[in-house]
Amino acid sequence: MNAEINGVNYYYEWLSYQKDRATLVCFHGFTGSSQTFVPVFQHKNDHNILLIDLIGHGQTDCYVHPYRYQLESLCRDIALLTETLGISRFSLLGYSMGARAALGFCCLFPNKVQKLILESGSPGLKSPLERAKRQLSDERLAAKTLTSSIEAFVTKWEALPLFNTQNSLPKNVQMVVREERLSQQPFGLACSLWFMGTGAQKNFWPELTHITIPVLLIVGELDTKFQQIADQMKQRQVTFSIKTVSDAGHCVHLEKPQQFEKIVYDFLKGGSNSDN
């Protein structure tokens, strides 16, 4: 289904819906789409599941003014989209780029979020120098999306050490993920990197202490970088919970979908299901 929000057509899909039930909204990662969560949520629970293609990805518009890709603009669009769908408050789940967007949304619209789940997420880079270096790196990567074929870009993206653990997935699963990445539009990917990449993102570390709702950080045991980030986030805000999933890398919901589903549902029901 599609909804026009301030001139941008957003694609959304209900995996389950029943009037008067609480809702979980899901944000995918860079080069992904809402469909990444379809194989994950296979069992009934007491929440509606709403999947959204973020701007420049999947079936949501990509050929719009680049400034619409700014995180604040995206969050305003999501706030209006959910209001349009009759959802005033909801729980929010985000993966990687989607986790950064979900955290940003929570900081900008704290009264709209009941619970927050961040899978392999980050509050951004702390120092202006770090952000400047990363922004330059993101800009170079964005240029490659526009100057090389989508096949060449995806092949290079898949070769990042961050995704090494996905090489052990069944071949049919790897093919589905690759086809999802190949279906993206280079312009949308480039604008996401330029205006919503880690280098362009606001530093949300100082905001963590102001978050009082339940927050769960999900990380893979084999993803040491984001384990460290999760630990640092919990040090900043001790009420956060961390769940580390054994034998999983950066994309936990792809590598361990059944465990991921249970972790999410248990957290939504009220348990932290936390290692820490």
Q: What is the pLDDT of residue 45?
A: 87
SS3 51: strand
In a domain, 211, yes or no: yes
Percent of the chain exceeding pLDDT 90 equals 94
Q: How many domains does the chain have?
A: 1
CA distances from 41 to 51, 87, 135, 242 (A): 11, 20, 34, 21
Q: Is the pLDDT of residue 116 over 90?
A: yes
Task: Give the chain's mean pLDDT.
Answer: 96
* Predicted confidence (pLDDT) at residue 270 exceeds the cutoff of 60: yes
Residue 178 domain flag? no
Q: How would residue 131 be classed by pLDDT, with cut points 50, 70 and 90? A: very high
Residue 142 in domain: no
Establish if 173 belongs to a structural domain: no
272 has a pLDDT exceeding 60: no
Q: What is the pLDDT of residue 267?
A: 97
Whether residue 170 lies inside any domain: the answer is: no
Residue 161 within a domain: no
Task: Report if residue 187 sits inside a domain.
Answer: no
Judged against a pLDDT cut of 80, whether residue 275 lies above it is answered with no
Lowest mean pLDDT among 41-45, 112-116, 146-150, 232-236: 41-45
Query: Could you give the angle at the alpha carbon of 246 between the alpha carbons of 43 and 224, nearest 5°?
Result: 125
CATH number at residue 218: 3.40.50.1820
* Closest among 116, 128, 145, 133 to 208, alpha carbons compared: 116
Per the DSSP assignment, residues forming a β-bridge with 103 are none
* Contacting residues for 197 by C-beta, under 8 A, at least 6 apart: 134, 135, 138, 142
Strands of the sheet containing 22-27, edge to edge, are 2-5, 8-16, 47-52, 22-27, 90-95, 113-119, 215-220, 241-245
Range of the domain at 12: 2-125+202-269
Alpha-helix runs per DSSP H in 197-256: 224-236, 252-255
Beta-carbon contacts of residue 229 (< 8 Å; ≥ 6 apart): 121, 122, 123
Q: Is there a domain that residue 24 lies in?
A: yes
> What's the confidence (pLDDT) of residue 124?
96
